[in-house]
């Protein structure tokens, strides 16, 4: 993901390509199951160049997670723009719809899930907290909603994760119907 209007150096372009590849690879096999070689191959560069750009696997995972939350905030912002009023509930509703669309491609969702499973690594836990703080603050500031409404918005986001990762929309059980009632999700892929 490049910065608009900026001329990027070759290393900056490659760094962006490596982060994008890292999102895909870490989402697929998690922090512990993904060798740097896989990320390098996906980015079409050498593993040595990955290490030139990032001092280690933790730094690469954190960069991927930071990009993930940047993309989440962009989606929430786009959703807020679609709200037909400035009412905080309407803004949060559209933000929620935008997030549901974003996680239909499971890469960003699974990256967050894998980050939680690797949160015993302090840098990953810090990055996850930083990302959740970023999203929570953005939702509160942009929507103008109170703390309770923002807490509920974030809780629904976690419920969205559960619904999408377990494909509960297509489950016939009454329990799944309870969890998915009123939730909006495009088909995940």
Structural domain for 167, as ranges: 10-180
Q: How many domains does the chain have?
A: 1
Q: Does residue 5 form part of some domain? A: no
Q: Does residue 108 form part of some domain? A: yes
Hey, what are 21's tokens? 């590849």
Q: Does residue 99 form part of some domain? A: yes
Q: According to the model, what pLDDT value does residue 6 have?
A: 56
**Do the Cβ atoms of 97 and 79 come closer than 8 Å?**
yes
Q: Does residue 187 form part of some domain? A: no
At 183, is the pLDDT very low, low, confident or very high (cuts 50, 70, 90)?
Answer: confident
Q: Does residue 4 form part of some domain? A: no
Q: Which residue has the higher pLDDT, 180 or 38?
A: 38
Q: Does residue 185 form part of some domain? A: no
Note the pLDDT tens digit of each residue in 49-103: 999 999 999 999 999 999 999 999 999 999 999 999 999 999 999 999 999 999 9
Q: Does residue 3 form part of some domain? A: no
Residue 40 belongs to a domain with what CATH number? 1.10.357.10
Considering only the C-alpha atoms of the chain, give the largest distance between any 2 of them, rounded to a whole number of Å: 54
Q: Does residue 166 form part of some domain? A: yes
DSSP assignment string, 29-51 = HTTTT--HHHHHHHHTS-HHHHH
At 10, is the pLDDT very low, low, confident or very high (cuts 50, 70, 90)?
Answer: confident
């Amino acid at each position: 993901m490049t910065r608009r209007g900026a001329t990027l150096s070759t290393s900056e372009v490659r760094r962006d390509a490596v982060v994008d590849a890292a999102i895909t690879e870490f989402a697929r096999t998690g922090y512990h199951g993904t060798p740097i070689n896989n990320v390098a191959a996906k980015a079409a560069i050498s593993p040595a160049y990955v290490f030139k750009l990032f001092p280690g696997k933790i730094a690469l995972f954190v960069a991927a997670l930071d990009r993930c939350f940047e993309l989440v905030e962009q989606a929430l912002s786009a959703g807020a723009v679609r709200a037909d009023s400035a009412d905080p509930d309407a803004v949060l509703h559209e933000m929620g719809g935008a997030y549901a669309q974003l996680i239909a491609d499971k890469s960003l969702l699974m990256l967050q899930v894998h980050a939680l499973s690797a949160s015993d690594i302090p840098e990953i836990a810090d990055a996850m907290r930083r990302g959740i703080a970023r999203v929570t603050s953005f939702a509160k500031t942009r929507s103008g909603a109170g703390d309770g409404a923002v807490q509920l918005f974030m809780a629904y986001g976690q419920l969205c994760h559960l619904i999408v990762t377990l494909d509960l929309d297509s489950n016939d059980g009454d329990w799944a119907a309870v969890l998915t009632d009123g939730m909006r999700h495009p088909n995940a892929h």
